[in-house]
Each structure stands twice: as C-alpha cells, then as structure tokens.
Structure 1
Amino acid sequence: MLAAYRPAELVGVSCVAAGADALFAEAVVEVGGRLVLVIPSRDYRARKVGPEQFRQFDRLVESAHEVVTMPRERADREAYEAAGKELLRRADRLVAVWDGSPPNGRGGTACVVRQAREAGLPVDVVWPEGAARRG
C-alpha cells in the first residue's frame, strides 16, 4: 500500500532483481518516493540482467536517489547475501514476495526474511492465493 505513505517519507530499498524487486522499485518511483538500489556485484547487470530487462534496470538506476554497489566482482550467492544484509541495514520494514519455501542456499528471500525476523525488523510476506513460481 505505497499510496498510504506521503512520498516525502517513503524510501524504498531494492536489490532490483527481475520480477517483484523491480516492480517494487518502479512503484516507489511512481508515487514520488526515494529509491535506494543495492546492486549485489560489479558485474550484476552484465551477468544477471537479461536483455529484455536492460531498459527497466537502467531506468531504475537513473531514477534512484542512491545506488550502492556491493564490493563484489561476481554475482553469486555471497554477493546476494551481502546485498541482503545491506538492504536490511537500511530498512525499517521488510516486504517480501515469498512463497514460504525453505532456503535453497545463501542470499535468497528465505534467508533475508529469517535475518529480518531475527533482527526484530517487521516483516510483511506477500504471496497471493493461487500464485505459483515460474520455472
């Protein structure tokens, strides 16, 4: 419910992965909030952003109030884990689009949700009834 916040108060922090992360980032910009992007690694765009997502990714980077690129060369589980920790360090609340599945390694949504809960950060999990993961 981003519209419930006054834009001057809304700061959205996103790792801008394709899907829910990018949609959230776009919604923050659309309502006039400040966007902070946490990019997991120096090679993230080249290795993990598909050609069909370049325009969206680049537009969000240009729209961001701040872009933090983690000091990692390669986009891997360690880079995602570091980005998740940085995202939580900057957050007052975590909104996670997550199906509740257990972790499948370090740095995924399940790990970030667990870390947020352990830190006492409020967590809102969004997973609409009938939703399913792709692939």
Structure 2
Amino acid sequence: MGDKPMGNEPMGDEQQIIHIGVTGHQHIPEEARVFVERGLRELLTQYDGKPVVGLSSLAVGADQLFASEILRTGHTLKAILPSRRYERTFDESGLRSFQTLVGKARQVVTLGYAEPCEEAYYAAGKRVVDDCDLLVAFWDGQPANGKGGTADAVAYAHEVGKPVTVIWPEGVLH
C-alpha cells in the first residue's frame, strides 16, 4: 500500500497552488505609488506560469491595487470580506472598484460580522494570513491606527510563522 498525498500536496505533474495574501495602507502617497506598483509586479513575475491565488479584503488602496494586479496577470482572486454591509464603508470611487473586483473574484468569503468594525477587520486580516503561504505588506512599518490595521496583520503573520514581504519605500510614511 502506498502513501496518499495529503492536503495541498501536488499529485503527479500537478503544480501546487501558491496563496499570496495582502495587507496594506488604504492611502498610498504619490511618492510611494510607483515603488509599490513596481515591487508588486516584480514579486508576481516570480510566479509566472505557476498557479497563484491572491487573497484580499478588497479595501481601498493596497488591497484593491493588489487584487487588480493579481487579475491583470491572469491569476485567481479570492476575496475575504470582513462583514456583511462592508460596501457601506466605501466612497463612490472605492465602491465601484470594490464591486468590479468582487465580480471578478473566483471565491468570495464573507465573515460572520453583521456590520463593519475593528474586530471584523482584525478577523479578516487573520483569515488572510491563515489562508496564505506568503503575506505581502504595503506598509511603512508604523503601528496600526486602530485594531485590524496593517501592523496587526504583519504581527500575526510573524506570530504564526508566515513569511512576510514588505514593499514600501524607505523613509515614506502613509
């Protein structure tokens, strides 16, 4: 009797799916934008020809930038939304992008919170980390402004031993 593959192990010629999660600032200053976009493109080129699932909560800023690039490069998007009625937190422009990205996501998971709140944001960040193989952080290294911010997701990733790649220009604050 042979051993049976377990979990996400590849079988035969099948490639293992790489899950890349994102956390990052909602406001990316102009002096950081080009650096962040280039860094993300360079990171994703490492996975050309490999199956990648991008995990994002689709917040404005870093999350939507990441999700758009995942889709542009032909990869799969999985949205992890913090709560029902999450769309109420967006302005008109952010809402249009959010709705477009939700429509293109292969899978949408909505956590069990009735309303958006810091606890829901924190839970969504943890879920992204738990489900990813690599966390990409668009982060200036500063503490979170509230529970569930970028710093919390990065700290949790370190706590559970997930690799984190920070893409942010030195000396620029959000």
Residue 91 (structure 1) aligns with: 132
Structure 2: tracts of 5 or more residues without a match: 1-42
Task: Give, in angstroms, the shift of residue 24 of structure 1.
Answer: 0.2
- Measured on the aligned residues, the alpha-carbon RMSD in Å equals 1.3
> Equivalent residue of 2:59, what SS?
coil
TM-score, scaled relative to structure 2 = 0.72
The farther-off stretch of 63-72 and 98-107 is 98-107
CA contact (8 A) 1:8 1:32 kept: no
Q: Name the CA shift for 1:67/1:8 in 2 (closer, same or farther; >3 Å).
A: farther
| Aligned match for 1:30, one of 72, 78, 93 | 72
| Aligned match for 1:40, one of 82, 92, 109 | 82
CA contact (8 A) 1:14 1:25 kept: yes
Residue 6 (structure 1) aligns with: 48
After the TM superposition, list the runs of 4 or more consecutive aligned residues in structure 1 that deviate by more than 2 angstroms.
Answer: 129-132
CA contact (8 A) 1:20 1:97 kept: yes
Residue 127 (structure 1) aligns with: 168
Higher relative contact order (CA 8 A, sep 6+): 2
TM-score, scaled relative to structure 1 = 0.91
Task: Give, in angstroms, the shift of residue 129 of structure 1.
Answer: 3.0
Query: How is 1:44-123 mapped onto 2 (pairs within 5 angstroms)?
Result: 44-46=86-88, 48-123=89-164
Equivalent-residue separation in structure 2 for 1:20 and 1:30 (angstroms):
15
The structure whose Rg is larger is 2
Task: Give, in angstroms, the shift of residue 106 of structure 1.
Answer: 1.7
- Identity among equivalent pairs (%): 44
Structure 1: tracts of 5 or more residues without a match: none
Task: Give, in angstroms, the shift of residue 130 of structure 1.
Answer: 4.8
Equivalent-residue separation in structure 2 for 1:54 and 1:81 (angstroms):
21
> Equivalent residue of 1:40, what SS?
strand
Write the letter of the residue equivalent to 2:172: A
